[in-house]
């Protein structure tokens, strides 16, 4: 690209960028002004109370609900994939695509439920040791813990079953889900087309994470000022953001030097 072309491209994109910047400033300013004028900072206490109520009364039951709903959804999906595999002649592409789609769906749901359960267990801890002051709350707390472990076990088993079924349609894949280096070994068994697909998916995930982290960092910075939520949430988001960016940049530098000779 010539210097003029670079300048023109920047000039073309600049107005939209400035507009987004201006809108963000106006929204930020309005939020700050409103919080000062209408005393939104006084809401901080009630938000904290809502959080504690959610954590001690709702989160444990949500974990129980997830522990029940996930197998109810995933097991039939897995069974139908297995049934299709039994009827598959090894040639019909539509059937094999359908098997892959069903197995991916089951893995996706079980993985998402596991992530959600980590949030819910943290939320149920948010009541602190005061939770144990009441018998009823203590029981609910332990019900939540049991549900949390149930979700973990379910996620592991569902993923193991799905991966084992996927291995039947892909005999070149050897890794076991119980192997600590499962992801690395699975990747090593992938061929060039699969690695390109993984790369494309990973890039999409990288850009999505960057966008979410940008939005969260701004929102949490405003919340720290208005609702007095402290800096810990911002620290966690920024830590994820830095790790995401740094790993991407480090790997990009490595690949630009070594080309496709490294996996």
Partner 1 sequence: MVLRNRLKVFRAILNVNQQEMGRLCGVSRQTISLIERGDYSPSVTLALTIAKVCGVTVEEIFYLQEEEEHEKG
| Contact residues: partner 1, CB under 8 A | 90-91, 93, 96, 100, 169-172, 190-194
CB 87 to partner 1: min, Å = 16
The Cα 157–Cα 161 span in angstroms is: 6
DSSP class of residue 189 equals T
Q: What six digits make up the tokens of 166?
A: 């996927």
CB 89 to partner 1: min, Å = 8
CB 62 to partner 1: min, Å = 37
CB 229 to partner 1: min, Å = 46
E strands present in the chain: none
Q: What six digits make up the tokens of 255?
A: 């690949």
Q: What six digits make up the tokens of 234?
A: 């911002």
Q: What six digits make up the tokens of 16?
A: 């939209």
Cβ-based nearer residue to partner 1, 72 or 87: 87
The Cα 75–Cα 69 span in angstroms is: 10
Contact (CB, 8 A) for 27 and 215: no
Cβ-based nearer residue to partner 1, 100 or 137: 100
Cβ-based nearer residue to partner 1, 96 or 244: 96
Cβ-based nearer residue to partner 1, 143 or 190: 190
Cβ-based nearer residue to partner 1, 15 or 260: 260
CB 194 to partner 1: min, Å = 6
CB 16 to partner 1: min, Å = 32
For Cα atoms 250, 252, 255, give the angle at the middle one, nearest 5 degrees.
Answer: 110
Nearest to 45 by CA among 232, 234, 226: 226
Contact (CB, 8 A) for 123 and 59: yes
Q: What six digits make up the tokens of 210?
A: 């960057």
The Cα 182–Cα 188 span in angstroms is: 10
CB 35 to partner 1: min, Å = 53
For Cα atoms 203, 219, 210, give the angle at the middle one, nearest 5 degrees.
Answer: 10
């Amino acid at each position: 690209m010539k210097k003029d072309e670079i300048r023109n491209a920047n000039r073309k994109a600049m107005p939209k960028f400035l507009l987004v910047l201006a809108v963000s400033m106006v929204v930020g300013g309005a939020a700050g002004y409103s919080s000062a004028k209408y005393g939104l900072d006084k809401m901080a206490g009630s938000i904290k109370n809502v959080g504690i109520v959610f954590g001690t009364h709702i989160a444990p039951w949500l974990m129980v609900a997830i522990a029940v709903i996930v197998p109810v959804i995933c097991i039939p999906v897995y069974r139908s994939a297995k049934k299709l595999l039994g009827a598959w002649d090894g040639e019909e592409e539509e059937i094999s695509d359908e098997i892959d789609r069903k197995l991916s769906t089951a893995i996706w749901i079980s993985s998402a439920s596991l992530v959600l359960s980590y949030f819910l267990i943290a939320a149920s801890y948010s009541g602190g040791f005061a939770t144990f002051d009441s018998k009823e709350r203590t029981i609910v707390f332990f019900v939540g813990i049991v549900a949390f472990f149930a979700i973990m076990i379910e996620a592991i088993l569902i993923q193991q079953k799905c991966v084992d079924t996927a291995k039947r349609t892909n005999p070149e894949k050897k890794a076991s889900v119980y192997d600590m280096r499962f992801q690395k070994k699975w990747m090593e068994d992938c061929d060039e087309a699969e690695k390109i697909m993984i790369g494309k998916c990973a890039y999409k995930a990288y850009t999505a994470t960057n966008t979410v982290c940008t939005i969260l960092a701004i929102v949490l910075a405003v919340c720290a000022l208005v609702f007095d939520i402290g800096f810990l949430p911002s620290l966690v988001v920024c830590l994820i953001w830095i790790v995401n960016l740094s790993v991407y940049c480090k790997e990009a530098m490595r690949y630009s030097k070594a080309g496709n000779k490294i996996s």
